[in-house]
Structure 1
Amino acid sequence: MKISECMTQDVRLVSPDDTIERAAQIMGSVDTGVLPVSDGDRLVGMITDRDIAIRGVAEGCGPSARVGDIMSREVKYCFDDAEADEVLVNMAEIQVRRMPVVDHDKRLVGIVSLADLDREEPARSGHALRHITEPGGTHNQSR
């Protein structure tokens, strides 16, 4: 199955100049923990609820801080014609739960989450989740 068949197409966006308060409000209204950040029609980053908490609030940023100051600039994405099982493997390897979906002009066309893929590929998504949640990396508390 192609990612375009299971991705969420109606994706809310923020700009680098939006405030983290606005980003958090949008996250709350659509019940998500991540938003793509766009500058015009270009995908320039991602902001997560974790970014807001760790890079924002914990570092002393107030609600008027800009999204562009705390967003993740390195965006991992997949193409809309990619096979779902390949994307699951990639998500497991890079340990992400959500991934923007772009067309071959690199324009955002959707976002795919483990939950989206689980509805279509339940056995494979469980395998991916085990790898995504493996302890390690810079945020490991077991050190």
Structure 2
Amino acid sequence: MHTIKDVMSRDVQVISPDATIAEAARHMRDGDFGMMPVGENDRMIGSISDRDIAVRAVAEGRGGDTKVRDVMSEGVRWAYEDEPIDRVVAIMGEYQIRRLPIVSRDKRLVGIVALGDIAIRESEPAPAAEALCEISEPA
């Protein structure tokens, strides 16, 4: 049985809530990803996505100097690194999220998994396809 640590990326960047959204956008562009965990005092306190920046900042006329904390999504969904892939896919589908932080059992951030990581690395694409259907449904 494969666990999520078999497919996750260990290259995960965390951004401070006091960073600007321009900094967050540059990290996302340079790393080619659309979401970053937001960390403060060695804890994940939320996440910021490219959509958060577009909808909560740009669409409201805010500038690039807006703080991450002002537009981030609070509360973080995550999974343990030793959980089965299908359990992680179920979490992603239930909460309609495409990228999920992965933590160790002592709740240290150890990676991140994107729906695409699961689809590419799994020999049977059904779990990722099922999650994508759930994620894509209107809330």
TM-score tier by shorter-chain length is over 0.9
Distance (Å, rounded) in 1 between the aligned partners of 2:119 and 2:27? 24
Unaligned runs of 5+ in 1: 138-143
- Which residue does the alignment assign to 1:95? 96
Specify which of 114, 122, 134 is matched with residue 131 of structure 1.
Answer: 134
- Which residue does the alignment assign to 2:18? 17
Amino acid at match of 1:23: A
Amino acid at match of 1:4: K
TM score, norm. by length of structure 2 = 0.93
- Which residue does the alignment assign to 1:86? 87
Distance (Å, rounded) in 1 between the aligned partners of 2:82 and 2:127? 19
Deviation of 1:119 (Å): 2.0
**Secondary structure of the residue that 2:113 maps to in structure 1?**
strand
**Secondary structure of the residue that 1:100 maps to in structure 2?**
strand
Deviations 1:60-117 (A, max 9, x none): 2110010011101121110111100111112111111110001122111100111111
Deviations 1:15-72 (A, max 9, x none): 0000000000000001111111111321111000000011111122110010011101
Instruction: Output the aligned Cα RMSD.
Output: 1.0
Distance (Å, rounded) in 1 between the aligned partners of 2:73 and 2:112? 16
Amino acid at match of 1:24: A
Distance (Å, rounded) in 1 between the aligned partners of 2:46 and 2:89? 21
**4+ long deviations beyond 4 Å:** none
Instruction: Say whether the 8 Å CA contact 1:45–1:72 is kept in structure 2.
Output: yes
| 1:1-143 matched pairs, under 5 angstroms | 1-121=2-122, 122-135=125-138, 137=139
TM score, norm. by length of structure 1 = 0.91
Instruction: Say whether the 8 Å CA contact 1:20–1:64 is kept in structure 2.
Output: yes
The percent of aligned pairs where both chains have the same amino acid is 47
Instruction: Say whether the 8 Å CA contact 1:11–1:111 is kept in structure 2.
Output: yes
Deviation of 1:120 (Å): 3.0
Aligned length: 136
Instruction: Say whether the 8 Å CA contact 1:43–1:107 is kept in structure 2.
Output: no
